[in-house]
Amino acid sequence: GVARLGEEAEARQAELKQACAEALEDGDEGAALERISEAIALGCASALMYCKRAQILLQLERPRGAIHDCRAALALNAQSPKALKLRARAYAALSRWLEAQADYSQALQIEHDPVLYEESLAVAAKLKDIEAAAKLAARRRWEIVGGADKGGVVVRDGLDLNSPQLLDPLDGVSPHRLATGAVVAEVELVGDRLHFEKLRGSGPREGWISIALRERVLAIPLAAGAPLAAEDGPEGGAPAEEPPFPPMSPPRADSLSDEDRARQAELKQQAAEAQEGGDVQLALERLTAAITLGCASALLYCRRAEALLQLGRPRAAANDCVAALQINPDSGKAFKTRARAHARLKRWADAHSDFQEGLRIDYDEDTYQESLSIEAKARGMRAVAAEKRLVVEQDKERRRLQEEKAAEELRLQTERLLAQARAEEGARMRKFERMYMSDQFGRVAWEKGFMTDFMGTKRGKCKCKNCPVYCWTPVRLSS
């Protein structure tokens, strides 16, 4: 570049800088940018001029241009706190938090600024949140599939199944359950007990749940990197309570009159037009009216089931599909629609089974692609169930071995006690023999068939006055 400006160029540059300042005072950032850019183009631009343009570019929401000018300013003055501060703000505007934190830190080392310090704290907090989110994303994720009939699964305060249940903060009495369909991140897995942090859905923010209980699968692991499914019910839980099922076709209607048949055809046409117009509720009303006339076909029930699904009533939709299959057991449409209803209710095994049967009867590529995600969930449930069965079998085998070991130890201990008793009895007999036979009077008495009183204990002299023991002759008592 230019080593030095002439007097005329310097005067023009000063004039342009003044015009830039006036434009900024008037709030015209566009004109200010043009004036400062002209001044820089003259040559010999200072770090401060580049910082001025960077500041204007930030006001015009052009952070990349601001970063470029800040680099130019730092090339002229590596210790420019203003350039570092502006570049940090530009990086923050681009969500480049690491670079922003580095520039904030360097700027504060050169020159402390309370406002800049507060901005740096906000960036540090953002970085901390990102780091925590990254750690959370790296954990294995689980989807709650059990407890749909009870409003979710029980959450306890600790690992032990006897630890206190978490209570609903609204009433402090009823259990605070983790809703079916919720997605959680694994903190720790100990056997069948999962310590979780909630990612989506209703329920406690964290706690302990069972992933399987008495052959029932309550939670399944999600594939790594799999996106979270769309929420079906409030806060991602199970579908909300449904209204009563719509009425069914009269069971005794064997045939329709010509008038009723014409009316039924008219109602079906009105339902089709309502669905095309996006009024699903009206279509449901027309289909229900057609069904209640009697002699409803499997296809008619399937059409109402689809409308019920669109209105978020999967239980009623499944009920209509059952009615359709009673009329036509080979209705592929009924199986596919019921599979979708089961999927909305998180009944993955039932959904997978119905999808497979529906595709067997009437294959189509779209339904096949739809069934793949359900198959993965069903496979996950089978894997958890198989793991649970394995754990149960291992636990039974462990208990059996423990019982056998305890029985063997008891048998050995009994044998030791018996051997010890026999040894003690033998010792007592040998002691008696030694004591009794060592006495000459006792030995003579024994040889002649006499018994000493108290098993050889001396108690005064014999009546004969000659022997020192009292002896007696055993006699057989008559019966």
Interval 237-254: pLDDT, tens:
445 567 888 998 887 667
Instruction: Yes or no: say if 222 and 143 are a contact pair by the CB < 8 Å rule.
Output: yes
Residue 225 has pLDDT above 60, yes or no: no
Predicted local confidence at residue 211, as pLDDT = 87
Domain 139-222, architecture per CATH: Roll (2.30)
Interval 282-303: pLDDT, tens:
999 999 999 999 889 999 999 9
Give the model's confidence band at 452: pLDDT under 50 very low, under 70 low, under 90 confident, else very high.
low
Percent of the chain with pLDDT over 70: 83
Q: What is the mean pLDDT of residues 394-416?
A: 90
Predicted local confidence at residue 455, as pLDDT = 46
Residue 464 has pLDDT above 70, yes or no: no
Residue 272 has pLDDT above 90, yes or no: yes
Predicted local confidence at residue 236, as pLDDT = 45
CATH class of the domain at 258-378? mainly alpha
Question: Could you tell me how many residues make up the chain?
Answer: 479
Residue ranges per domain, the chain? Answer: 1-137, 139-222, 258-378
Instruction: Yes or no: say if 67 and 97 are a contact pair by the CB < 8 Å rule.
Output: no
Q: For residue 102, give the nearest of 397, 90, 147 by alpha carbon.
A: 90
Top-confidence residue, 290 or 140: 290
- Evaluate whether 1-137 and 258-378 have a shared fold: yes
Interval 151-174: pLDDT, tens:
788 999 998 888 998 888 877 788
Q: In terms of CATH, what superfamily is 1-137? A: Tetratricopeptide repeat domain (1.25.40.10)
Q: Is 61 left (phi over 0), alpha (psi -120 to 50) or beta?
A: left
Give the model's confidence band at 358: pLDDT under 50 very low, under 70 low, under 90 confident, else very high.
very high
Residue 266 has pLDDT above 90, yes or no: yes
